[in-house]
Amino acid sequence: MTLQEYDYARESPSKLAASCLLLALTMKNLGGWTPTLEYYSGYRSQDLHPLVKRLNFLLTYQPRDKLKAVHTKYSHRVFFEVAKIPPMDMLKLEEKLKSC
């Protein structure tokens, strides 16, 4: 989704990928940012928090009519129906990120 949004073009691909991973881990309650992830990514959890919040906002307020093909593709069983996972409430996300 970020490939179609100009606001994310200035972010480094590695930081964007790390932020997406942290958001996914948080959304699925699979733990937080571990020292191993920090070592191999080069990013501390706190460095990723602003971008994670922006990504969740993008998921929350995405225009449904613009990205139908992307949403349909990732709603399929082959892609584990990730498009059907609801975005996190911003306050809950904030709480979880503080504990990372």
Q: What is the DSSP string of 1-26?
A: -GGG-GGGTTS-HHHHHHHHHHHHHH
pLDDT digits (tens, 9 = 90+) for 62-87: 766 666 888 889 899 999 898 888 99
Domains of the chain: 2-99 (1.10.472.10)
Q: Which pLDDT does position 33 carry in this prediction? A: 94
pLDDT digits (tens, 9 = 90+) for 19-70: 999 999 999 999 889 999 999 999 999 999 999 999 999 988 876 666 688 8
Q: Which pLDDT does position 83 carry in this prediction? A: 86
- Residue 2's pLDDT band, with cuts at 50, 70 and 90, is confident
Residue 20, token pair as written in the block: 């997406």
